[in-house]
Amino acid sequence: MIIKTARLSHNNKVSEGLKNFSNISISGYKFVENNKEICNPKEYDTFIWTKEILTPSEVKLWEKSIIDEIERGKNIYNMARLYMVSHNKKLSSLADRYGIEYFDCSDPNAFDKYREYAKLGLKGIEAKIITIMGTGRKCGKFTTSLFLRNELSKYLKVGTVGTEPHSKLCGIDEMVIPQVIPICHVASTLYGAIKKVDLNNKDLIIVSSQTGVFSDPLEVGTGRGGGVVSLSILQGSKPDYIILASNTLNTMEIERNIRAIEILSNKRVIGITINGKYAGEAYSNEDYRDILNNISEEFNMPVADVIRGIYSKDFVKSIMEQCSEK
């Protein structure tokens, strides 16, 4: 599916990622606060549903929205995690009748696609692997991965594997949505995606994780998966190095995550990024820089806020040096 201009369902973290890292022109949004629908006079070729987790009432809204957009002749890119156009006979039949292309980010059968690559990966992966882990949601894992891809690609052949639904739209090489895959296949599916990228002679592969190892796995019915999914990505990516993306400046919480990740992976965390949109918004740039510097000294590793661009250059230099070590 080729997307040039898109209308998005919601203005959220996914839409922010598309604005910052994709080449898609955004014509507007279908809904504002409280799912109030707004008109959109601008032309677009594709409707992108950007809300991953839906309440029961939002499921009806999702279905109605997809029907409306199909009847307008628009292609559909669907990011709803547990609800797929391909699994909804009414929607898929309507799309076929109108000759509409549709794509569901969630693929419960993704293991079949990557099975043979995973087996091949057991013989070895040539590229170094960096996995971006997190302290929880909204800590900048995806932003960190794309920032590092863009910067490190100036010096190395960098591949990427993403677990966010807009990964493919932002130029990520392979996308795996782990929450909908049977748990026994999550790690090997991810590993297969990594090996597929590795076959393109990459020096380095960056893997973006989900949520955090201590996140609640009992958000019943949401499809989030919490720490269970985060741990599966950590184990399945078999990283050489790990970067921790944090949504907090609390060093005790940062240390707790680093210790758990290093014990479970037997690999070391080599850097920390802070999402200053949340963690550092209360501080002036000068005070915030001092805080980041203190965290760096406490953990003896580089710390940066890649969103606000604080210590970003030094961070990239340090990561490059560490990844070049034999």
Whether the per-residue pLDDT at 137 is higher than 70: the answer is: yes
Strands 158-162 and 174-175: parallel
193-247 tens-digit pLDDT: 999 999 999 999 999 999 999 998 888 888 889 999 999 999 999 999 999 999 9
User: What is the per-residue burial (b if ≥16 Cβ within 10 Å, else e) of 128-157?
Assistant: bbbbbbbbbeebbbbbbbbbbbebbeeebe
Out of 3.10.105.10, 3.40.50.720, 2.60.40.650, 3.40.50.300, which CATH number does the structure's domain 5-104 have?
A: 3.40.50.720
Would you kindly state where each structural domain of the chain is located, as residue ranges? 5-104, 110-324
Whether the per-residue pLDDT at 253 is higher than 70: the answer is: yes
pTM for the predicted model, two decimal places: 0.94
Question: What is the pLDDT at residue 304?
Answer: 97
84-134 tens-digit pLDDT: 999 999 999 999 999 999 999 999 999 999 999 999 999 999 999 999 999
Question: What is the pLDDT at residue 135?
Answer: 96
Question: What is the pLDDT at residue 224?
Answer: 87
Other Cβ atoms less than 10 A from the Cβ of 61: the count is 18
Question: What is the pLDDT at residue 173?
Answer: 98
The CATH T-level fold of domain 110-324 is Rossmann fold (3.40.50)
Domain 5-104 shares a fold with domain 110-324: yes
162-174 tens-digit pLDDT: 999 999 999 999 9
- Burial class of residue 305 in the structure, from the number of CB atoms within 10 Å of its CB (0-12 exposed, 13-18 middle, 19+ buried): buried
